[in-house]
Amino acid sequence: MEVQEAMLSKINDFVLRLVARFQSEKGQALAEYGLILALIAVVCLVALTALGVAVSGNMDKVVAKMP
C-alpha cells in the first residue's frame, strides 16, 4: 500500500511539474497528454494490484489443497 502511495505521489509531482512548465497555450496539448499518461499509469497500477491480489488468493487455495 505504501508503494502505491509513493508511486502515486511521484506521478502527481511529475504531472504538476509538467503542467507548471507548459502553462502557455502552446504547451497545452503536451500538458494534456501528460495528464492522460498519468491517468493511464494510475489505472494500470490499480489493475495490476487487483490482479496480484487475485493471483495470490488463488495460489493460497492451491497450496491449501496440497497434501
What is the pTM (predicted TM-score) of this model?
0.52
Output the nine-digit C-alpha cell for 30.
Answer: 503536451
How confident is the model at residue 24, as a pLDDT? 59
Q: For Cα atoms 35, 37, 27, give the angle at the middle one, nearest 5 degrees.
A: 50
Residue 58's domain comprises 2-65
Number of domains comprising the chain? 1
Where are any strands of DSSP class E within the chain?
A: none
8 pLDDT higher than 80: no
Contact 22, 28 (CB under 8 A): yes
The rounded distance, in Å, linking the Cα atoms of 18 and 34 is 7
Model pLDDT, residue 20: 75
Predicted confidence at residue 34, as pLDDT, reads 87
Phi, psi of 23 (to 5 degrees): -75, -25
Neighbours of 4 (CB within 10 A): 13
Question: pLDDT tens digits, residue range 18-57?
Answer: 777 766 566 677 788 889 999 999 999 999 999 999 999 9
